[in-house]
Each structure stands twice: as structure tokens, then as C-alpha cells.
Structure 1
């Protein structure tokens, strides 16, 4: 009798725990969908970064929704299940893309992000056609021969690690007592750490559908709480859209095209960037525009500040000289390209190329 009572109690406790997790999974899916709508359509001064954040939250929500329906309605359409699995494959890429674009918006060209997304979609279309989930769901299980599960887990963690690497500067600032962490760094750290925890839960817990859903709820709820706190202190989430400096005074397409042509002539043909004393006002005068208009064009249309813009050309010239000129020292090459000091040359070169000039020279041999 006592044993039956204990078994019934344990069963009730297990069922209650399962229902609680199921409840928070559903809330996690709803919260994610709401936040993706908020960042994608409702937030003011939307940027590429906010769109990718919206996409990240959306695929997390779709993945959780798939699990909720599959658990509650075992007869859920295999097409919907395939969509949910595809969303799971996209969590890592969107986490990486958001982090990279938020930190280095100029390094991701307009359509380059598709290189991370289209292969996933093609892969899932092929897999769904050749190995329907209803017949081959064992290939997605946690135990062998879960080949597709291994592929998903590996792809997800590789992108997550890549996102953590992109945010390495924010992590360094977090543990540096001499530096104050910025709101953007704080935000990115929360997104990256939250994404890693969701991956960890997916790969280390028994009831992945429920645990990931519950953690997704916690993750999205936490983001909502951060937004509320920041909006209590500031009027808008300005750190999410750092490049909308001149949003109310857009340059016309005709004028922007004219400025682009003239800038190309000045920097590529005349190579005015070799002048170490080159100023924004000097270039603006040659373009016959105001310094404000030139700065606006560079920020809005190119996505670079004036100093980063001219340094891009200086580094391009430096790499050409390193490859072709064997007589000049690296310091002399830096001076030839317009840098006033060796330190500024080395700093700009490493930021642009990911290595120092000397390392770049060694890589050529």
C-alpha cells in the first residue's frame, strides 16, 4: 500500500513538473515571437542589427513551438516539424550574424549573410525530402545513429563559438577593472551567453523540448526586463542602432551616387589618403559639399566614419606595397600610406586585416 502510494506520488510529481515545463515552453515561444515582432517591426530607428536580432528570436520561437506541438499533438505535420528543425539549424548562424553586425557593421556586406543561411535551407529541403522525419526520426535522436542530430549540434556550437569570439572584446571589458562596460557590450554579452545556455540545455538535458522551451522563456523574459530597465533610464534603445546619426536628413540617391564617383577618383586615382594631414574638411571642399554632408554620406551610405574610411584605403595601399616593394621597411610603408606614426599604422592594419604588417609580410613567404 505504501509502495503504491509512493509510486502514485512520484508519478503526480513528475507529471506536475512536466506540465510546468510545458507551460513555460509555451510562454517561451510566445515571448520570442513577440520580441521578434518588436525588434523587426515596432522598434524605432531599426537597423540591420535589429533585424538579425529579430530573426534570432524568431527561429528560437519556431523551434520551441515545434517541440510544444510535437509533444502535445503527436500527429503534428512532418512539414511543420521540418520547419522547426530548420529553425534550430538557423539559431547558430543568426546568433553569429547578429553579434558580428552589431559589433562590426561595416564588415558584413549587404548580401553576404545569405552565405550562412541558404546552405542550411538547401540542406533541410534535401534532408526533408530524402529522410522524412516521420520515417527517420531516429536519425535525430540523442543516441546513435543520430547523424543529423550530431550535425545540428556541431553546426550550432561552431557558430556559437564564433559569436563568442566576435564578442571577445566585450568579455575582456567585463573583467577589466580599468574599463567601464558599455550598454552595447552588456547587451551583446547577454545575447551571446543566453544563446550558449540554450545550446547547452539542448545537448545536455533529457527533456530537451521542455528545458529549451523553459530556458527560452527565461532568456526572452530577461531581454524584456533589460529593455524595460533601459527604457526607464533612456528614451530609446539608441545602442541598438548606432548608425542612424542623420536619420532625419537623408542624402538623395543622385547626390550620393555623385559623391561616390568623386570619392573613388580622389582616393583610387589621386590617392589623397597618402596625405597624413588629410582632413574631413579638405575632402569635402574637393567634393564641393559641406563636411556635415560628407560625414553623413559616409555614415549612412558607406557605414564608416571618415577616419575608418581613409584608413581602409591606406591599408589597401599598404598591402600592395608590402607585396610588391622589397626596398621599403614596414615603417616607411606606413609613412608612405599616410600614417603619422608606426603605432597608428599597426593598429589600423591589424583591425583591418586581422594581423600585424609583419605577420602579413611573413604570410606571403
Structure 2
């Protein structure tokens, strides 16, 4: 069959780097202990899907597709994965579990996989003609015969529009989930946020620009000739994800001196001098800090203070905000604000079921447990109990459970 020489230029190099980094990130998130976390599995498969999409565009752009015609359009089903997987990642990262019926979001991908079976079982001449029609329309077509119908859905001609719609809907949905979490903490979406929420917001904003770029690029090019620009942007998002991962890692931070015994000249009694490694704190200091945190929460109940912040709590525990945040994430799998919400809701449950406080209004209870915003209290209570405060008050009493543990 006629072919063209390979084309290797800056765009080809960028796309190849995107494929390599996407494969690396996907394997990174899916391997070892990381792969047991639902959110990591979502972002890992999203990276692999994006790597597949960029790989197909790389083959088309460099003319290497002439040598592997059996791979023509192999990545089409993956167009329906980045959007849903981003949404599932954001949701699982915030709520620590996927939404109900999460698998329904993967139905379009499954349908397109079935649709692609008939497409791939076609003669190479058919795939050759399809490829040059999209990428090299100036080349002559070859005689061909189709084995059977290649599109039982009748939707292949609308793949670009459906990809755009999927990316747009799921990116907006992801921003909505983040906005709900931000509202719970009483912060603006585009302002300063806790590290975890800031990362999720920034990654989602990168993704939101993708459907915008589709709208701008596609009308400027006939058929698929603008795909290499989209592939370069996907590469950019892959590397942006890498930077976000690195920014949250302790590996690149200066290592603190090894702890010395309390009471020495270098360390005041009770002070912590942790080191970085697998955790920011050695095991014995982690246990000590966790014990002090439990004791403080049980005896002084600082979580009921409306102005309690991570730095203030760290100061009471004679540690740093970073080390306290590391402890909460590693040992309790909670952020600071999740921890506050857990304890505050537990106290609110007690107030709602106690006959002595049955006459209190919901907003009064919210104030007593440390919330300045009644809506934030409602959101936290519903998220942790599955009921509104009013519904919980009317339901049979159930013992609240919200404690830290080692």
C-alpha cells in the first residue's frame, strides 16, 4: 500500500513524551499500596486512557499508522474515560468512596468498546482509506470491500461532539463537587484552599480547558488535522498532574535533623523534631502525637471552638502544622476539616437526642458545636450521617461514633 515517510518534529516529540509520562503515572497510581485507594485507581486509569489517546494521535501525525494499519482508531473508546474518571477521582478523593452506581458512568465507554469490535474486524484496505480520508485526503483511495456494518450505534460520525459533551459535563460536575466541599469549609472556590482541595481544583481547571480547546481547534481544521494540538494539551495536563503529585510529596523537601531525646540541649522537653521519610514523623513520635491529640480532644474539646485552625491545634500539641496534617492523613485518613466535622457532628448528635437540649434550634446547635454557618453544619451532618439534623432528631437514637484511633 502507498505510504508516506515518517514525520518527526517538535509536536511529535511532545506527544511521545506525553505517552511515556501518562504510562508512568498510570502505573505509579495503580501499583503497590497506592492502587488500593479508590481515588488513585481512578486517576491511574485516567492517565492510561489519556496516554492511549495521545498515542493514536502520535501514530497518525508521524505517519507511522501506515505501518500499523490494524491500530487505526484503536483509542476511540478511551475518549469516554477521562471525563468520568476525573469526576470519580474528585468525588472519591473528597468523600473517600465513589458515588452510588459509579459504574453507570462507564456505560458510554462500554458501548463504544462493543462498537469498535465491528470496526476492527475490517480489511486493512478499509482502514487505510479511513486513515487517509482523515489525515491525508490528498492521497488516492484503494479499492475496498467492507465485511459488515462498522457502526451499529450510528454515532461514529459524532464522536467529536460526544467527546466534547462528555468532557464538558464531567468537568463541570467535578467543579461542583469541589465547590460543595469548599462551601462546607466556608472558603471561596478560587481563593486560598487546603492543599488537597487546591490540587483538585487546579487539576479540574486544567481539564475544563480541554473542551474549550476542542471548540476552538476543531472548526479550524478539516477532519482530524487539529488533533495534534489537542494531544499536546493532553500532554500538558499529564505533566501538570505530575507537578501536582510532586508538590504534595515530602521526598523533595529538606530533611529535618533526626530527633534527639527530649530534655537535651537541642530539643526542649516535649518538643518534636521529626524527620522526613515514608512519614514526616517516626513511628514512636507519631504514636505520641496521636495519643496527645486524643487526650486533648477528649479533655478540652477544642473542636467546639469556631476559630480553631490547623496552626492553632498544632501549637497546642507542640508540633508543626505540616506534621499534624501528615499524621491526620497517614494515620486517620482525614484532613483537618474532616476531623473537626467528625467530632462536631458527634456532639451535635448528642445534643439532638438529649431531652435537655431538645428545644434548641438547629442553628443554635450548629453554633454550640463550632459552626459559624448553619448551611456548613447541615452539609457536614448530612455527609457523615446520611440525614439532616432535623431528620436525625426525629429518628430513633443511635450512638454516635467519631473518635481518632491509632
Bin the TM-score by the shorter chain: 0.5 to 0.7
TM-score normalised per structure 2: 0.50
C-alpha deviation, 1:196, in angstroms: 2.7
For the pair 1:192 / 2:200, whether they are aligned, the reply is no
TM-score normalised per structure 1: 0.55
Aligned to 1:233: none
Is 1:106–1:304's contact at 8 Å kept on the other side of the alignment? no
Match of 2:304 among 271, 276, 290: 276
Paired residues, number: 312
Larger fraction in helix: 1
Alpha-carbon distance between aligned partners in 2 of 1:128 and 1:227, rounded to the nearest angstrom? 30
C-alpha deviation, 1:244, in angstroms: 11
Match of 1:60 among 46, 50, 57: 50
Is 2:11–2:228's contact at 8 Å kept on the other side of the alignment? yes
Alpha-carbon distance between aligned partners in 2 of 1:142 and 1:204, rounded to the nearest angstrom? 19
Equivalent residues in 2 for 1:301-316 (5 A)? 301-315=331-345
Aligned to 1:213: 228
Aligned to 2:69: 76
Aligned to 2:144: none
Equivalent residues in 2 for 1:96-175 (5 A)? 96-99=87-90, 105-109=93-97, 115=103, 119=107, 122-129=110-117, 134=122, 135-137=148-150, 146=158, 152-166=163-177
Aligned to 1:7: none
**Secondary structure of 1:303's partner?**
coil
Query: Structure 2: which 5+ residue stretches go unaligned?
Result: 1-5, 123-147, 254-274, 395-406
Is 1:29–1:61's contact at 8 Å kept on the other side of the alignment? no
C-alpha deviation, 1:90, in angstroms: 0.9
Alpha-carbon distance between aligned partners in 2 of 1:347 and 1:243, rounded to the nearest angstrom? 35
**Secondary structure of 2:97's partner?**
coil
CA deviation map 1:56-106 (0-9, x unaligned) = 44422312332454674397326x744x122211121233345556xxx34
Query: Structure 1: which 5+ residue stretches go unaligned?
Result: 1-18, 231-235, 284-288
Alpha-carbon distance between aligned partners in 1 of 2:76 and 2:149, rounded to the nearest angstrom? 13
Which is bigger in relative contact order (C-alpha 8 A, separation at least 6)?
1
C-alpha deviation, 1:329, in angstroms: 0.9
Aligned to 1:33: 19
Aligned Cα root-mean-square deviation (Å): 6.2
Alpha-carbon distance between aligned partners in 1 of 2:372 and 2:10, rounded to the nearest angstrom? 53
**Secondary structure of 2:304's partner?**
coil
* CA shift in 2, pair 1:242/1:126, >3 Å: farther
* CA shift in 2, pair 1:212/1:275, >3 Å: closer
Is 1:29–1:62's contact at 8 Å kept on the other side of the alignment? no
For the pair 1:88 / 2:79, whether they are aligned, the reply is yes
CA deviation map 1:289-311 (0-9, x unaligned) = 99899865422133323453131
